[in-house]
Each structure stands twice: as C-alpha cells, then as structure tokens.
Amino acid sequence: MITYDHKKIEKKWQKKWGDSGIYKTADNSNKPKTFVLDMFPYPSGEGLHVGHPRGYIATDIYSRHCRMQGKNVLHPMGWDAFGLPAENYALKNKVHPRKAVEKNIANFKSQLSKIGFDYDWSREINTTDPEYYKWTQWIFLQLFKKGLAYQSNEPINWCPSCMTGLANEDLDGDLCERCGTKVEKKALPQWVLKITAYADRMLDDLSLLNWPEHIKEAQRNWIGRSEGAEIEFEVSQTNLTIKVFTTRPDTLFGATYMVLAPEHALVREFLSKIQNKNEVLRYIEVSREKSDIERNAEGKEKTGVELKGIKAINPANKKEIPVFIADYVLGGYGTGAIMAVPAHDERDREFAKKFDLPVKDEPFVDGKKITEQVGGRMTTMYKLKDWVFSRQRYWGEPIPIIHCPKDGAVAVPEKDLPVLLPDVEAYEPSGTGESPLANIPEWVNTTCPTCGGPAKRETNTMPQWAGSSWYYLRFMDPHNAEALVSKEHEKYWDPVDVYVGGDHAVRHLIYARFWHKFLYDIGAVSVPEPFARLEFLGFILAEDGRKMSKRYGNIINPDDVVAQYGADTFRLYEMFIGPFENTTAWNTNAIVGTARFVERVWRLHEKVVDEQVLALDSTVEQTVKKVSEDIEAFKFNTAVSQMMICLNAFEKEGRVGRMQWEKFLQILAPFAPHIADELWEDLGHTESIHVSVWPLADVSKLVSATATIAVQINGKVRGRVEIATNASETEALAAARANPAVALWLAKGKELKALYVPGRIISFVLG
RNA sequence: GCCGGGAUGAUGGAAUGGUAGACAUACAGGACUUAAAAUCCUGAGAGGAAUUAAACCCUCGUGAGAGUUCGAGUCUCUCUCCCGGCACCA
C-alpha cells in the first residue's frame, strides 16, 4: 500500500517554485497578457476561514492554465488594511493599528502559502504603506482640482455618550453598539465626491462588460436613473413656488395635495404664514432626531402634518390644494417635494386615507404635452448620491488638504505627498466629532501653500473604500515612485481580464469604476473600464448552514484541513463542492472524496506503460477538451468530475499509456499543482509541469464510427440501436424498425411521423 | 413591498430542447483481515408485474398547475416556498 505523503511533497514543491521564480511576472514580454485578480482581503485578526480561499483557488487554477497556454500572466496579491476593525483592535489593546495589521498579514501569508498559490509576491501591495497611499492621496487631489471633490455639511450618526461618530455597522438598531445610547444625527463639514457626474456613463458602459447579469442589474438599480418631469406649483398669495419631480406627469390632474420632506428649505420660508407653526416645528424636530433605521422601522404607517394656511395651485386645473410635510418624502431624492396622486400611487393613497384627503381618479393626459403647457421640463433623476468621503477616524489615508483662513481649502502640493499619517497617543475620536488627528497640534498646524500664512490640515481621513478603488492599477507597476502606474505598464496590462470575488456587488465595484473613469478622463489610464470580466463567487457556509463566525464557533481554518489532507485535496474539494457562484455548506465528510482521488492518482503512477492504450484515447481527449472548456468558463466542479471519470477509466483498464498519463497530469496540474509536479518529475521531466505546454484535445479521436441512438415512440424511449455516425435518416429509421423491441411497439398503432435528429434521437409518432 | 437568484435521490450536485440523477458523499451487502481502519467489488429514484434467480419489461417521477413541441428538468404563463440585496426613490 503506497500512501501519498502530502506534507513532504507539498513542502518540497512550494520551496522549489519559490527558488526557481517560475511565477514571476515579466513586464516586457511578447506573449499576450492575462491579468487575473482576486478581490484583495482585509487582513482581520480572525485569519482566513475555508470560505476565503475558494476564489483564490479559482484564480490560481485559471492563471496556471493561462500560463501553460503561453500567456504572460499577472496574478498578484495584496492587502486592504486601513479601516475600522484594525482601529477598534488598537483601541482595545492599546497597540498601534500598524502593528496589528503587520501581525495579521503575516498570519494571512502563512495561511495562503500552505495552499500553494502562484502569486508573484514581489508585487505585494498594502494600502497602508505610505508609498501606496501617496497615490491614493494624489487621486484625491486630481478630483479636487477638477471640482469633483467638494465640502458639504452632511449628517453622521452621532453617539452623544461616546462623543463619537459611528458607522452603520456600529449601530444596534438606532442605539450605539458600545454603550446603548440612542444615536443622533449630527451635521459635520465633510468631503464629498461627485460620483453623480459619472452616473450616465457608468450606466451606459455596463454594456461593455462581461459581468453576470444580476450584478449589472444591481448596479443599474443602485444608480437608479429615472426619466420624468420637473414641474413648479405656485404657492397661493406668495411669489414662491414648490418644484417637484415626477415620473408620471400624465397624472397631473389627479394631484390633490403636495408633500414636502420635513428638511425641505421652503418650510422655513413659509413659517410666518403657517397657522399651526408649533406643531410643524415639532414634527420637523422629531424627524430630524430619527435615525434612518427608525424612520424605516415604522414600516408603512404614514405620519405628517399639514401646513395650515399654505395652499398650492395645481397648474393643470388651477385648483388650490393643501400642502403637508411628511417623512415618507425624502429630502435627498428628486427635489425633496412631491405632487401626491392618491388615485395612482400606493403611498399617496395610504397617506390620503389617513388624513382624509380626496382621491380623484382623473383620466391620464399626454405627459409631454402637459409638462410643456404648465411650464415644466423633462429631466432625469438618480438614486445615486454623491459619495461622502470623510471619516472622523484615525486609521485611514489623511485627506491632503490645508485649510487657510485666507485662501480656504488648498491642495497640498503634489511634491509634498504623501501626507503621512502621524503617530498618536490615543486612537479615540476627539470628542468634538473630529478625528483623533485633531488632537495633534504639531501636525495640524502648518502653513498655507498659497500665501504662506498659518493654516490647519484637514483632519478627516478617507474611507476604507479609497485604497481598494484603484489597487489593481498599482499591481501593474507596484514600485513606481514617479506615478501611480507608468504609461507603458498600464497600456500593457490594463484592463483586468478576470476579476473574482463575492460580496461587493455594488459599492466597491461602483467606486472603482468611478475612479477608473475619472483617471481615464485625465489621461492616467487608457481603457474606459477597469474589469473586463467579473466572476462572482458564492460563500462557503459552516456545516451547520450558518455563516462562519467566531460568534458561533464554527470556523474551519484552512491550515487544519491542509495539515490533515494536504493542499491538493483541499483545492480540489473547494472546486468540487458545487458551482462556483453557488453558496454551499462545508462538509467535512465529503472531502474524503477528493482525498481518495489524490491517493488514487498517486497509486496509478505505478501502472504507467510506454505504449498507448487505445481504449483510453477517447476518454483522455474528451477529458482534455472538457477540462479546458470548464476552466475557461469557471465551471470547476464539472472539470473535477471529468478528471474523476478519466481516472476511473484508467483504473478499470489497469494501466495507462505514458502520453495519456502526461496529458492527464497536465490538466490536473492547475488544480493539484504539487502532486502533478511530483509525478511529472517522476516521468523524467526536468522542468516544472507548470511551465509545460497545455495539451490540445485531439478531436479526431472523439468521433467514433458508430453510436448508440435511443429510439422514442410517442416521446418514450423504447429501444436503442447502434448505427453509423454518418447514417442518413432513411438508414437510421430502417435500423430502428429492424429492432425487435421497437417493432413490437410500432405494431401497436398507426405511424404518423418518423424523424431522425443526427447523433441524438430517432423518434416515431403513433396515432 | 421592489429587484435578483433558486427549488432535481438521504446529501452536494450533473444534464447544447433529445436515454433524468453523471461525478462524489452517506448508506447496504460482499472480498481482504484474528479484528478494526484503509482498500477493492457490488447494489440502490418510487412503485409494479414476472421469475428458482438474474437480465429483460411496465407505470410514475426534476416544488404545484397549465401551455408550446414528435419530445420539456431545460422554453412560455400562473402559483407556492426558499435564499440574497435594496428598502417609503415620487
């Protein structure tokens, strides 16, 4: 009984690959390029669980296969290491987040190295490295210079007890997760990026992308373009108007009242005329204090207050209609005001019912025409909002802006980048809502680059999304000190050919597309979209069907699986577990299936004979063909089962020809790189199997002279006949009629129709 | 509520409109073994008829119902349930 010693052999090959540098990527190559990219991980303290490597294994297989096909492959790895978890860890343990990040990265790398990936580690990047975030800051400056970064008072979640701003993840309902205090909204001056300027292009260019349709659809919904009309309603006895946006101007006659968002600016101007002023002010106050969650938690129950004394005029029929404020109308969408058509709109109807307002079912009119008649205009609205880009936090890229009392917000000169993140004594937010950086006067106080007078640095930092919005570009040229990526390298590598990951269907992919399009506009990149093809990845759940989490204690560490079964078995299992995009539960029992497969491959190398085993030819060629196609299509589960079918055939035959065996090892190599290289070496090869040439399927061996064709009578299979592959319909039908079982059935009725679909089916219809 | 994706044996799953359940797990029986593990062989959708026994044979079967088709897991319509995302977007 020969047992495969995965520990020894996997260690041997991991060392050999590292020493020989076969996975190092050349920048100047005549070969066609392939850029294969994983969504790079956030190096958390929990380490990797078995769900993380699934995507990395897929890209590893894909990139190894490309390399063997003669492509110049870029398959890099790096770390998205700024952000809240590292900062919280630092707060709790009183260590610098950099230290925590370093430790976590070391752990992640150790975990990854055991799985045998082909990453070119000389291109490793880390978003918290000043050499990296220098360019994140540089991109911000370009946005600022083009007027796409602006300051605005934006509300944040504010915990009055902790005196700190909170991210949505830090909330427990509308309470602070840490102390249980009710969270308020507080407006702070923040940097905002004008992503809405790119809404149309991001929508239109989805057609250029080879992405799963459901991801494109999610992006369309996120951008949320809708066509409609802007119409102004006069307010009686004033010279003011209320502007609304509606997608249904054709229902204008049915508008029986209007609603403003409580935060709408016009309400202030109406105040002197409002008879129930106190009631209105109270409602505004209450809805201002409500968190978004609270506003939604109330479900469909509508609230609101009429502005008594204010009447608007429906421009279609000149009738006076009442005006309300209600929080079901959002300040941030459209004009923050609506014309309510209770006959047509569900929400308006509910509100009308509650406030006993008339519901008028007026006939529809021509929307374009009516818009013109009442002096409105057709326009386009988006759900997409500009990107609030400031965080009142320590562990992020400093925003490279200097505030001068004379010159206002001034860009830090590019030669002074990076603006280094200084060390601080305490990572707690300042208590005023500002970031901890505000507590370091020697860092904050500086001079204005324009006038040289005293000025202060911006103390907000960037969100975690920033560093991941352009990292794929840095992989093309990771050590460039002069530019974020050189023109030459960018031209060669851009775009990413295959991008693989899960989870971030919308946010990350929208932000990265936005930045890429901006960089395209300023000439920093040469293609309009960053990710030509996207493959979306399903989660691996724990055996209990829940998400793997420390909380449930159901995390499975890849280290343990690799130690017990070996990396090759682990890799094969993660691919065999189900379709790549499916979410599936881990099953410790089932992994023995691929472990047995690896063992059987190992044992079979004793059965290799010099001569070709003709009986195996068609299976081998079929397997080469199927596995090649399946890798290209990310159907790794069926690729693995085809290799199992092939191995079963070898075993049944009791031997395998050397050439057949070589082909089998080569297609196995991307999946199980260690054992494949070991057995390849065993055949006398001196070069690694991973730089050998991918086999082409010999299709001629797939076509046999005869084939078994099923015979259907009235849609049911009643027999099978062996006929020549190139048989005519007449010959096929004759062969079928000659079959005794078929003849018996045909005798039972009157034949109405007979047909032969070549190579597929013979079909008779009886009456 | 809206949008997206699903539903196939005990389980994960396979199947360009053409022999449903490949491949694998679990299970049962057998071989090997003092024994167990490992390994190998065999079986298996449900039901029925028949037989010494087996092959062979028949009916039903891919969430439910209708439709298109010579033929539907696959296409169309209606419905049920599950998962994911967004949630009052005018």
Asked whether A192 and A154 are in contact (CB, 8 A), the reply is: yes
Å: A413 CA to B37 C1': 71
Measured on CA atoms in the order A610, A612, A616, A619, is the torsion positive or negative?
A: positive
- State the pLDDT at residue A340: 94
Å: A754 CA to B50 C1': 32
pLDDT tens digits for range A244-283: 999 999 999 999 999 999 989 999 899 899 999 999 999 9
pLDDT tens digits for range A83-110: 888 888 777 888 889 999 999 999 999 9
- State the pLDDT at residue A168: 66
Å: A69 CA to B87 C1': 47
pLDDT tens digits for range A516-572: 999 999 999 999 999 999 999 888 888 887 888 777 888 899 999 999 999 999 999
Contacts 24+ apart (CB under 8 A), A237-242: A237/A273, A238/A273, A240/A266, A240/A269, A240/A270, A242/A266, A242/A312, A242/A323, A242/A337
> Which has more pLDDT, A606 or A431?
A606
Structure tokens at A643: 């290799």
> Which has more pLDDT, A200 or A767?
A200
> Which has more pLDDT, A744 or A479?
A479
User: Over 80: is that where the pLDDT of A694 sits?
Assistant: yes
Asked whether A4 and A675 are in contact (CB, 8 A), the reply is: yes
What is the pLDDT confidence band of residue A292, given thresholds at 50, 70 and 90? low
User: Over 90: is that where the pLDDT of A767 sits?
Assistant: no
What is the rounded CA–CA span in Å between residue A423 and residue A458?
A: 16
What backbone phi and psi angles, to 5 degrees, belong to A156? -120, 165
Q: Is residue A37 helix, strand or coil?
A: strand
User: Over 50: is that where the pLDDT of A1 sits?
Assistant: no
For residue A61, CA distances in Å to A296, A382, A523, A634, A637 come to 45, 40, 34, 10, 12
Nearest to A255 by CA among A338, A175, A333: A338
Taking the C1' atom of every nucleotide in all shown strands and the CA of A539, the nearest one is B84
Taking the C1' atom of every nucleotide in all shown strands and the CA of A338, the nearest one is B90
Query: Which burial class, exposed, middle or buried, applies to A610 when counting CB atoms under 10 A from its CB (0-12, 13-18, 19+)?
Result: exposed
User: Over 90: is that where the pLDDT of A740 sits?
Assistant: no
Taking the C1' atom of every nucleotide in all shown strands and the CA of A595, the nearest one is B24
Taking the C1' atom of every nucleotide in all shown strands and the CA of A383, the nearest one is B89
What is the rounded CA–CA span in Å between residue A655 and residue A664?
A: 13
What is the pLDDT confidence band of residue A142, given thresholds at 50, 70 and 90? very high
**A636-653 helix and A591-604 helix, angle to the nearest 10 degrees:** 40
What is the rounded CA–CA span in Å between residue A391 and residue A456?
A: 17
Nearest to A183 by CA among A89, A294, A303, A326: A294
Å: A754 CA to B74 C1': 24
Per residue, the 3-state secondary structure of A407-423, as one string, reads: CEEEECCHHHCCCCCCC
Residue nearest B71 (alpha carbon to C1')? A715
Å: A720 CA to B53 C1': 26
Q: Which residues of A200-237 are buried (b: 16+ CB within 10 A; e: fewer)?
A: ebbbeebeebebeeebbeebeebbebeebbbbbbbbee
pLDDT tens digits for range A234-253: 999 899 999 999 999 999 99
- State the pLDDT at residue A291: 62
ipTM for the complex shown: 0.93
Å: A653 CA to B42 C1': 18
Centre a 10 Å sphere on the Cβ of residue A380 and count the other Cβ atoms it contains. 11
Taking the C1' atom of every nucleotide in all shown strands and the CA of A593, the nearest one is B24
Å: A739 CA to B56 C1': 15
What is the rounded CA–CA span in Å between residue A141 and residue A138?
A: 5
Å: A299 CA to B2 C1': 14
Q: What is the mean pLDDT of residues A698-705?
A: 83
Measured on CA atoms in the order A593, A610, A673, A69, is the torsion positive or negative?
A: negative
- State the pLDDT at residue A299: 57
Å: A256 CA to B2 C1': 26
Å: A572 CA to B42 C1': 28
Å: A710 CA to B22 C1': 18
Å: A6 CA to B26 C1': 26
Taking the C1' atom of every nucleotide in all shown strands and the CA of A213, the nearest one is B4
Taking the C1' atom of every nucleotide in all shown strands and the CA of A584, the nearest one is B12
What backbone phi and psi angles, to 5 degrees, belong to A446? -150, -165
Residue A121 is which amino acid? W
Share of chain A above pLDDT 70, in %: 97
Taking the C1' atom of every nucleotide in all shown strands and the CA of A713, the nearest one is B70
Taking the C1' atom of every nucleotide in all shown strands and the CA of A580, the nearest one is B13
Asked whether A339 and A258 are in contact (CB, 8 A), the reply is: yes
Query: Which burial class, exposed, middle or buried, applies to A742 when counting CB atoms under 10 A from its CB (0-12, 13-18, 19+)?
Result: buried
For residue A62, CA distances in Å to A389, A579, A627 come to 35, 15, 11
What is the rounded CA–CA span in Å between residue A351 and residue A357?
A: 8
Q: Which pairing describes strands A401-404 and A454-457: parallel, antiparallel, or unpaired?
A: antiparallel
Q: Is residue A144 helix, strand or coil?
A: helix
What is the pLDDT confidence band of residue A743, given thresholds at 50, 70 and 90? confident
pLDDT tens digits for range A559-611: 999 999 999 999 999 999 999 998 888 988 889 999 999 999 999 998 999 99
For residue A469, CA distances in Å to A100, A140, A194, A465, A519 come to 23, 11, 15, 6, 11
Strand-pairing partners, residue A258, are A323, A339
Residue nearest B1 (alpha carbon to C1')? A300
Å: A539 CA to B84 C1': 11
Å: A1 CA to B41 C1': 18
Residue A576 is which amino acid? F
Å: A213 CA to B82 C1': 21
- State the pLDDT at residue A447: 96
Å: A761 CA to B13 C1': 26
Q: What is the mean pLDDT of residues A347-375?
A: 88
Taking the C1' atom of every nucleotide in all shown strands and the CA of A226, the nearest one is B89
What is the rounded CA–CA span in Å between residue A441 and residue A450?
A: 21
What is the rounded CA–CA span in Å between residue A397 and residue A421?
A: 7
Centre a 10 Å sphere on the Cβ of residue A308 and count the other Cβ atoms it contains. 15
What backbone phi and psi angles, to 5 degrees, belong to A114? -75, -15
Taking the C1' atom of every nucleotide in all shown strands and the CA of A718, the nearest one is B19
- State the pLDDT at residue A74: 97
Asked whether A561 and A567 are in contact (CB, 8 A), the reply is: no
Asked whether A200 and A220 are in contact (CB, 8 A), the reply is: no
Centre a 10 Å sphere on the Cβ of residue A427 and count the other Cβ atoms it contains. 21
Q: Is residue A622 helix, strand or coil?
A: helix
Å: A6 CA to B32 C1': 26
> Which has more pLDDT, A302 or A568?
A568
Structure tokens at A90: 């630092």
Find how far residue A305's CA is from the centre of its chain.
42
What is the pLDDT confidence band of residue A458, given thresholds at 50, 70 and 90? very high
Taking the C1' atom of every nucleotide in all shown strands and the CA of A603, the nearest one is B39
What is the rounded CA–CA span in Å between residue A75 and residue A35?
A: 6
Taking the C1' atom of every nucleotide in all shown strands and the CA of A761, the nearest one is B18
Per residue, the 3-state secondary structure of A520-575, as one string, reads: HHCCCCCCCCCECEEEECCCEECCCCCCCCHHHCCCCCHHHHHHHHCHHHHHHHHH
Q: Which pairing describes strands A33-38 and A498-501: parallel, antiparallel, or unpaired?
A: parallel
Q: Give the full edge-to-edge strand order of the sheet including A716-724.
A: A716-724, A706-713, A761-766, A751-757
Å: A234 CA to B76 C1': 50
Taking the C1' atom of every nucleotide in all shown strands and the CA of A591, the nearest one is B25
pLDDT tens digits for range A118-140: 999 999 999 999 999 999 999 99
What is the rounded CA–CA span in Å between residue A18 and residue A458?
A: 44
Q: Which pairing describes strands A164-166 and A171-172: parallel, antiparallel, or unpaired?
A: unpaired
What is the pLDDT confidence band of residue A154, given thresholds at 50, 70 and 90? confident
Residue A304 is which amino acid? G
Taking the C1' atom of every nucleotide in all shown strands and the CA of A583, the nearest one is B83
Å: A485 CA to B86 C1': 36
Asked whether A623 and A642 are in contact (CB, 8 A), the reply is: yes
What is the rounded CA–CA span in Å between residue A497 and residue A66?
A: 11
Task: Give CA torsion, residues A523, A528, A530, A536, to 10 deg.
Answer: 170
Strand-pairing partners, residue A763, are A712, A755
- State the pLDDT at residue A95: 84
What is the rounded CA–CA span in Å between residue A252 and residue A555?
A: 57
Q: What is the mean pLDDT of residues A52-70?
A: 96
Residue nearest B13 (alpha carbon to C1')? A578
Write out which nucleotides of chain B lie closer than 7 A to a protein Cβ: 3-5, 11-16, 18-20, 22-26, 38-41, 57-59, 70-72, 83, 85-90
Å: A218 CA to B86 C1': 9
Taking the C1' atom of every nucleotide in all shown strands and the CA of A351, the nearest one is B88
Asked whether A362 and A251 are in contact (CB, 8 A), the reply is: yes
- Average per-residue pLDDT for chain A: 90
